[in-house]
């Protein structure tokens, strides 16, 4: 395995085409904080599986187009080459590429909109990382989130697009929540909580993504499971909507928070785990709050709650003295768009 990896890396250094493929593959892996082309390949396979399983092959097509357009736009804008090679300019456009065909109806103009959106995602990646680096933070997946919110809200004003989010814009508080109750049929939902990171509703895809994490970082795989299970159980306890719960929709933001706070940006340990569990609860509350905030606008929260919660958890970081090897955090978030992986 290591021999193959080494020869791939060597080939990637010499051959520009292989390098481009390598960079594109690292993009999907960077969504879940992994810098590994094989993980990225597995995740692309997971997206393909989910797209075909749900009868929406165009979602996989969108992922590939978004990834290519975003990565090429970054080249045209002459971004920092080292960050580019790590796939840090691929993970946001690939998500935009998945979101546009998921939430808009299928017609030729949608593809132009997707290409414009993927290019805009790269511009916003540069813009927002410039904003957040003032506090030693990165923009995470927020360039994708903001671009997709813009695209969907704009689509409501255009006759040539139809928004398919299945969200009815309405005021909060109708008392129409159907509470779920625990039974073992909920097990696939924990895996769907992982696949929903990529807007995919499929436990098989969730399993594939966990494998993609496992081959690069066991801590990341473990905390992904902890995040999904923790948030879904808490949502169940507080009486959240049963249908969304089953689809894993209360898990995916906590999955990302748990990987970021518990496994990647801090050295895993008891105190960090306690802080991460608190972070999972915070992410759920922020997600539910953003659901109330965005429902009148008819747009989904996407991974916005993960971004907000994780920024809030990282901002006090210098006060979080008990974290051993604090300097890894500095490494991880100090420069504009680099994460220590």
Interface residues with a copy of itself (CB under 8 A) are 77-80, 109, 116, 119-120, 123-124, 126-128, 130-131, 134-135, 149-161, 163, 169-173, 177-179, 237-241, 278, 281-282, 284-293, 296-298, 311-313, 315-316, 318-322
Shortest Å distance, C-beta 319 to a copy of itself? 5
Minimum distance from CB of 41 to a copy of itself (Å)?
28
Query: How do the residues of the chain divide into helix, strand and coil, expressed in percent and rounded to 5?
Result: 70, 0, 30
Tell me how far, at minimum, the Cβ of 276 lies from a copy of itself, in Å. 13
Give the up-direction half-sphere exposure of residue 83: CA atoms within 13 A in the CB hemisphere: 21
Which of 65/79 has CB closer to a copy of itself? 79
Q: Which is nearer to a copy of itself, 21 or 153 (CB)?
A: 153
- C-alpha 61/C-alpha 147 separation (Å) is 19
Query: End-to-end CA distance of the chain, in Å?
Result: 19
289, 271 contact by CB (below 8 A): no
When the beta carbons of 14 and 78 are compared against a copy of itself, the nearer one is 78
Minimum distance from CB of 131 to a copy of itself (Å)? 7
Of residues 8 and 275, the one with the C-beta less far from a copy of itself: 275
Q: Could you give the C-alpha distances from 102 to 7, 85, 125, 249, in angstroms and in order?
A: 37, 28, 22, 15
Cβ at position 214, least distance to a copy of itself in Å: 31
Nearest approach in angstroms of CB 144 to a copy of itself is: 14
Residue-wise over 220-231: b if at least 16 C-beta within 10 A, else e?
bbbbbbbbbbbb
- DSSP structure string for 25-90: HHHHHHHTT---HHHHHHHHHHHHHHHHHTT-HHHHHHHHHHHHHHHHHHHHTT--HHHHHTTTTT
Nearer to a copy of itself by C-beta: 6 or 318? Answer: 318
Nearer to a copy of itself, 52 or 238 (CB): 238
45 burial type by CB count under 10 A (0-12 exposed, 13-18 middle, 19+ buried) = middle
Q: How far is the CB of 76 from a copy of itself (least distance, A)?
A: 9
Q: Give the nearer residue to a copy of itself in terms of CB position, either 151 or 226.
A: 151
Long-range interactions of 111-115: CB distance < 8 A, separation 24+ = 111/65, 113/151, 113/155, 113/161, 114/62, 114/65, 114/66, 114/69, 115/65, 115/69
CB closer to a copy of itself out of 222 and 232: 232
Rounded distance between C-alpha atoms, residue 84 and residue 73, angstroms: 11
In angstroms, give the least distance from the CB of 155 to a copy of itself: 8
């Amino acid at each position: 395995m290591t021999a193959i990896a080494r020869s791939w890396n060597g080939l990637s250094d010499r051959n520009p085409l292989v390098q481009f493929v390598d960079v594109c593959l690292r993009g999907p892996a960077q969504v879940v904080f992994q810098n590994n082309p094989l993980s990225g390949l597995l995740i692309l396979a997971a997206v393909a599986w989910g797209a075909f399983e749900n009868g929406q092959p165009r979602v996989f097509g969108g992922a590939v187009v978004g990834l290519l357009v975003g990565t090429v736009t970054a080249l045209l804008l002459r971004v920092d080459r080292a960050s580019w090679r790590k796939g840090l300019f691929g993970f946001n456009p690939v998500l935009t590429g998945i979101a546009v065909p998921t939430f808009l109806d299928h017609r030729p103009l949608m593809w132009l909109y997707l290409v414009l959106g993927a290019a805009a995602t790269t511009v916003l990646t540069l813009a927002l990382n410039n904003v957040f680096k003032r506090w030693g933070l990165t923009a995470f997946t927020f360039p994708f989130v903001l671009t997709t919110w813009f695209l969907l809200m704009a689509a409501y004003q255009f006759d040539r697009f139809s928004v398919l989010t299945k969200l009815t814009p309405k005021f909060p508080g109708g008392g129409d929540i159907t509470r779920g109750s625990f039974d073992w049929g909920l097990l696939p939902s924990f895996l769907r909580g992982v696949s929903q990171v990529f807007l995919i509703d499929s436990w098989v895809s969730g399993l594939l993504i966990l494998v993609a994490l496992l081959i690069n970082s066991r801590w990341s795989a473990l905390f992904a499971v902890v995040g999904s299970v923790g948030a879904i159980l808490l949502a169940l306890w507080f009486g959240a909507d049963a249908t969304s719960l089953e689809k894993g929709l209360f898990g995916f933001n906590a999955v990302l928070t748990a990987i970021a706070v518990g496994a990647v940006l801090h050295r895993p340990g008891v105190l960090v785990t306690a802080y991460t569990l608190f972070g999972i609860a915070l992410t759920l509350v922020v997600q539910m709050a953003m659901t109330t905030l965005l429902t009148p606008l008819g747009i989904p929260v996407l991974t916005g709650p993960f971004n907000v919660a994780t920024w809030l958890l990282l901002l006090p970081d210098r006060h979080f003295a008990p974290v051993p090897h604090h300097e890894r955090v500095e490494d991880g978030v100090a420069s504009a768009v680099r994460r220590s992986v």
